[in-house]
Structure 1
Amino acid sequence: MALNLLLLGILIKFFVFTDAQSVGVCYGEFGNPLPSQQEVVNLYRANGITRMRIYAPNRATLNALRGTNIELILDVPNIDLESLNDRNKAITWVTDNVLNYRDVKFRYISVGNEVDPNNPDTRRFVGFVLPAMRNVQNALIAAGLNQIKVSTATYTGLLAKSYKPSEGVFHDNVVSFIGPIITFLGQNGSPMLANIYPYFAHVGPPKLSDLSFALFTRTTPAYDDQGRQYSNLFDAMYDAHYAAQSRLGGSDIEIVVSESGWPSFGEDVATVENAGTYYKNLISHVKGRTGTPARPGRSIETYLFAMFDENQKPNKETERHFGVFNPVTRQKKYQLSF
């Protein structure tokens, strides 16, 4: 009896700890000044951050990651997608950026980021994403690196409808692009990567009135969706993505939140207080076992955007203020536990 109880205790601990997710942080480099890549990796380790996303191969970053326990999402930049439609160039890319760093813990390769048939800045890449994914996957398999999963990072802009979450659906002209990708992910046991930003959904257009719904501070459900109670916008957006991919055969494909964040400056709700509240509550939510109303009882692998404010980013002022660390002092902007 005592032995059975001991074994049961070990099993419970095993499942609890394997289900709990480490929250990752995206590492962008559109800022000046920024610490060196080695200093950044040291900062990740000192703060217990064991997952990172970088948006392009960077030799200094990859060298700094050697021998660490930091798991990595490595992006193929959109501008490189066309070249990787050539099988030999994909093999060279994998050799140069993965095989040469066997002591780096690659978790996923994200082949493209937010490629969208309806976005004039990215629509030219649409036809290159899936062939590049296949070529990178085949190069990894040929190298014996089957454990590294290949995916692409999507975003809520691909959805024609996200309210209510169960009615989530892709734009009609997105289906022919994303449907075969979903099939590929299912065949290879890879997750879908999705950038989910309640901040952008809140500010609109149209602007939503309930800030507490976006910041995880609402204490009662905002609405009911087929018996599912939604009290935060993150869950609603996540489940809308899940509903949309499920319509195309992706009900068994996990969604990894490859970006989520809140800016601290630039618009009326972009404040240090709101950003700190969002990041703190997001971490608590995704590390727990509550899941979402449509996917309950599980933690959600999530990557905060971003490590530092990036003062060289173009477009809106808010885009430059998503950092969770000060790049000069290297101190946390918010009291977060990763």
Structure 2
Amino acid sequence: MGSCSFLLPTIFLIIFTFSGSVVQILGLGVGINYGQIANNLPSPSRVSVLLRSLNISRVKLYDADPNVLLAFSNAQVEFIIGLGNEYLENMTDPIKAQNWVQQSLQPHIPQTRIACITVGNEVFKDNDTRLYSFLLPAMQTVYKTLVDLGLDKQVIVTSAHSLDILANSFPPSAGSFRPDLAEYIQPLLSFHAQVKSPFLINAYPYFAYKGSPNEVSLDYVLFQPNQGMIDPNTNLNYDNMLYAQVDAVYSAIKAMGHTDIEVRVSETGWPSNGDEDEAGATIENAGLYNGNLLKRIDQKQGTPAKPSVPIDIYVFALFNENLKPGPASERNYGLYYPDGRPVYNIGLQGYLPVPDQMASASKINVFPVFGLLIYVIAWLLLL
């Protein structure tokens, strides 16, 4: 009996949290990037409860952390898992690729829903032509391994790219890839078209504003009301930079002969803090960017050039990560502090249990039951 004393107030806290945020976020198609370059993050089992309380059911990892994948067993959360750039050369070897899939992916299926593998991340950002040459063979070998194991229908293979791959991004209709990357991107696009996997981009309007704060409209990059910009070739009006960036990538892909590849945003976000020379990195701007972005996602908006295709977006990131290298902004992209407090208020009032509560709950197996109860109550609130 003593071990159950905390449960009643905890349950009411969860229900209260849901009632305050369910209208804003229930049914959103938003995904979240779950980075772990930190030494103060909550355990994956606690994060599982947090994401369930937020009704976020799509998560992107940068590796295949077994602790995370196990913690989300039977949680109805869909995962993108990552193969870091350091694995690319090995993944061109069929035996090594098979070993990785069998050891890192297969043991978690079907208990944990793994829908995608990103092979490499922003490979073309640095001038490492050797790494460039490994990317497509690694993707092809991982894909063939999935085919051989009968997993290719449920797990897709792709990679994520920074917008550094573009030579031109405005107007969006004139978007083009860098000429020096054409020999790598052309066959990569053919692979995407063949296996019907999306082209992922990490798109950050913040970088454009940070680089030219006196020239780039803050309202334009934050989805705030503004006159927008007209593409002179199409007469389409763009009221925010993110949509213009996505359409520029579509145009670049089309210029290489493909119109059947979907562009998805694997990362986008805004830092809540930064160094003195990092213009715009404030809590207010981060709240506006992500809050307005979530509203757009909730409306299932497409871009001006693709109005009938809602943009698939993963927000970066779930937590501030205190060990990330680089400027201060890199450590301040999180929606949450590691202790579960929201960095700013955009309606995402989730619940992160304290460790002793998780331990007690696991002993009596009460959280799955009340998780179901919470979802029922959430749906009833919408009736």
TM-score normalised to structure 1 length = 0.90
Give the corresponding residue for 2:141: 135
**Deviation, structure 1 residue 297:** 2.4
Question: Counterparts in 2 of 1:311-330, with a 5 A limit?
Answer: 311-330=322-341
Contact 1:289 1:297 in 2 (8 A): no
Give unmatched runs, 5+ long, in structure 1: 1-19
Q: Which residue of 1 aligns with 2:321?
A: 310
* Mapping of residues 278-297 of structure 1, within 5 Å: 278-297=289-308
Q: Amino acid of the residue matched to residue 321 of structure 1?
A: N
Q: Secondary structure at the match of 1:81?
A: helix
C-alpha contact 2:271 2:330 (8 A) present in aligned 1? yes
Describe the shift of the 1:231–1:331 C-alpha distance in structure 2 as closer, same or farther (beyond 3 A): closer
Which structure features the higher share of helix residues? 2
Matched length: 317
What secondary structure does 1:253 align onto?
coil
The match for 2:116 is 108
Match of 1:241 among 240, 249, 252: 249
- Partner of residue 275, structure 1: 286
What SS class does the counterpart of residue 98 from structure 1 fall into? helix
Q: Secondary structure of 1:52's partner?
A: strand
Cα distance in 2 for residues equivalent to 1:273 and 1:206: 16
What amino acid is the match of 2:139? M
Deviation string 1:110-160 (CA, Å, 9 cap, x unpaired) is 0000011x623x544111111111111111111111221100001211000
Task: Find the partner of 1:29 among 29, 36, 39.
Answer: 36
The answer (yes or no) to whether the contact 2:270–2:289 under 8 Å persists in 1 is yes
Amino acid at match of 1:136: V
Partner of 1:66: 73
Q: Distance in 2 between matches of 1:334 and 1:154?
A: 30
Quick one: which of 234, 258, 261 aligns to 1:253?
A: 261
Post-superposition offset of 1:161? 0.4
Between stretches 257-266 and 215-224, larger displacement belongs to 215-224
How far residue 219 of structure 1 moved from its aligned partner, in angstroms, is 3.3
1:173 aligns with 2:180: yes
Match among 218, 221, 224 for residue 214 of structure 1: 221
RMSD (Å), alpha carbons = 1.7
Counterpart Cα distance in 1 of 2:75 and 2:131: 34
Per-residue deviation, residues 31-63 of structure 1 (Å, max 9, x unmatched): 231101111122111111100011011110111
Greater Rg over alpha carbons, structure: 2
Q: Gapped runs of 5+ residues in structure 2?
A: 1-26, 350-383
Offset of 1:237 from its aligned partner? 0.5
* 1:9-48 matched pairs, under 5 angstroms: 22-48=29-55
Measure the CA separation in 2 of the matches of 1:148 and 1:287: 26
Question: Matches of 1:330 and 1:318 in 2, distance apart?
Answer: 18
CA shift at 1:331, angstroms?
A: 3.9
- What TM-score do you get using the length of structure 2 for normalisation? 0.79
Identity of paired residues, percent? 38
Give the secondary structure class of the aligned counterpart of 2:137.
Answer: helix
Question: How far off its partner does 1:235 sit?
Answer: 0.7
